[in-house]
Structure 1
Amino acid sequence: MFARSALTRPFAAASRACLFYTTEAAPATPQLLLRIKADVKDAMRSKDKERLAVVKGILSDLTYLEKSPQAPEKVTDSVIQVLIQKSIKRREESVSNFVAAGRAEQAAQENKEIEMLKVYLPQAMTEQEIEDEVRRVVKEQGATGAKDMGKVMKELGSLDPARAPKKTVSDTVKRVLASL
């Protein structure tokens, strides 16, 4: 029928030769990100537009973070959880503004979205747990006053910011060191 031209054979061989193999493993995808993506699919299937908008908002914030100059080297569950906490904080500010403006319906909608976002966060440490941890580190470091705050905060850097917000930890360290 059709005769094969001499030109097609080299391209076929070249296409097989262009396979690249790497020995590097693909970076592990955070479990929380996989869960969020699965929730997007579930919301689409169930036609839950409110939940879909909230979950897509998380993915949008994550994409924006990855493209920003302050992007972390590696996206982890903790990074995603901090991002969600920031989103919750923005919505809480919106709730207070809506309440002040007498727009209860919009405030209720924001509260509903906050509850949808809280599903993705781990159980936060209580004030007492944070204070106990701060007192332990202060004792280990031998801190005697406010001048030792840097040493204490550096040691407390290992606390998960999703469970213990840095602002809360910092305030607790100031209070504990002031009481010494």
Structure 2
Amino acid sequence: MDMRSRVNTALKQAMKDKAAERVSTLRLINAAIKDKDIATRGAGSEEANGCSDAEVLEILGKMTKQRKESARAYEEGGRLDLAERERLEIAVIEEFLPKQLEDDEVVAAIKAAISSTGAESIRDMGKVMGELKSRYTGRMDFGTVGPMVKDQLCKASNGG
């Protein structure tokens, strides 16, 4: 079942269960997917069925990141009720994301990407990140992975 169908099925079930907060979050996900569909159509793409599963995963990743930042800001502002609501939305969104890679798996993936792209220095970081994004979208946080790639490339270029 594709991502769009999974979200719609979950939305229907949440409506039957009368889970208002879950319904709200699932509707936000659907709206974000539809926005991406419209943007894709507007860009001249003739893809009839809208955005791909990879693009949906990217959308969900961004939504999760935004909510984590919001929760942190709410906590700093003393609004624990709003922070908790953001965390509940994160939990719903993460149900649709693939299992995140463990730290050792991320390091192995980075080394494999460096090897497969033939990257030798920091100048090749774009190639390595592109390789990782094509294989692991939704399975790793690229904001955290970027510095790790940079570190590995610096070690490689310094001979160690």
- Is the pair's TM-score, using the shorter chain for normalization, greater than 0.5? yes
1:98 aligned residue (71, 74, 84): 74
Deviation at 1:102, TM superposition (A): 0.9
Q: Which has the higher helix share?
A: 2
The CA deviation string for residues 29-88 of structure 1, in whole angstroms up to 9 with x for no partner, is: x61211111111111112111110000100001111111256975522221121111111
1:46 is matched with which residue? 17
Q: Which moved more, 1:81-90 or 1:164-173?
A: 164-173
Does the C-alpha gap of structure 1 residues 83 and 143 become closer, same or farther in structure 2, counting only changes over 3 Å?
Answer: closer
2:58 aligned residue (82, 103, 107): 82
Alpha-carbon distance between aligned partners in 1 of 2:89 and 2:54, rounded to the nearest angstrom: 20
Letter in 2 for 1:31: D
Alpha-carbon distance between aligned partners in 2 of 1:86 and 1:150, rounded to the nearest angstrom: 20
Letter in 2 for 1:101: G
1:59 aligns with 2:34: no
1:117 is matched with which residue? 93
TM (normalized to structure 2)? 0.80
Instruction: Tell me how large the CA RMSD over aligned residues is.
Output: 2.3
Runs of 5+ unmatched residues, structure 1: 1-29
TM (normalized to structure 1)? 0.72
User: Which 4+ stretches in 1 moved above 4 angstroms?
Assistant: 69-74
Classify the secondary structure of the residue corresponding to 1:120.
coil
Pairs aligned (count) = 151
Runs of 5+ unmatched residues, structure 2: none
